[in-house]
Amino acid sequence: MEAAIKTIVDVYLKSSGGKDSLSAGAFQKLVKKQLHNIMTDTDSSKAIKDMRQGLDDNQDGKVSFPEFMTLIGYLSTSLSEQRAKEANPAETPEAGDGAAGDQEAT
């Protein structure tokens, strides 16, 4: 768990060049490089741009660390719902709206 937290912070700071916010380009690069297995649409620059705008609470065009954590929280929630569903197929809880689309072939 501690390693996971450190990884998030390290990856963020590495991508931002040590700054407290990610530029549009840096965010795009980070998502494509680090999140392409867990997220769908990472090939689409427009989809990433839309996502960035959705995360950008203060509308400054950049993704601050708290804004970035919104994405991590969202992905973690989606993954946890997906795993719970796989473990208990009968219960089928209502999933989120599906950003974590790592469907495995059955």
Binding site for Ca ion (CB under 5 A): 56, 58, 60, 62, 64
Q: Which two tokens stand for residue 56?
A: 């950008």
105: alpha, beta or left, given left = phi > 0 and alpha = psi -120 to 50?
A: beta
Output the smallest distance, CB 22 to Ca ion, in A.
Answer: 9
Q: Which one, 13 or 79, has the nearer CB to Ca ion?
A: 13
Are 51 and 71 a contacting pair, CB within 8 Å?
Answer: yes
Output the smallest distance, CB 63 to Ca ion, in A.
Answer: 6
Quote the CA–CA distance of 43 and 97 in Å, as a whole number: 19
Q: Nearest-CB residue to Ca ion?
A: 56
Output the smallest distance, CB 69 to Ca ion, in A.
Answer: 12
Q: Which one, 22 or 82, has the nearer CB to Ca ion?
A: 22
Q: Which one, 52 or 82, has the nearer CB to Ca ion?
A: 52
Which residues, including other chains, have CB under 8 Å from residue 50's CB and lie 6 or more apart? none
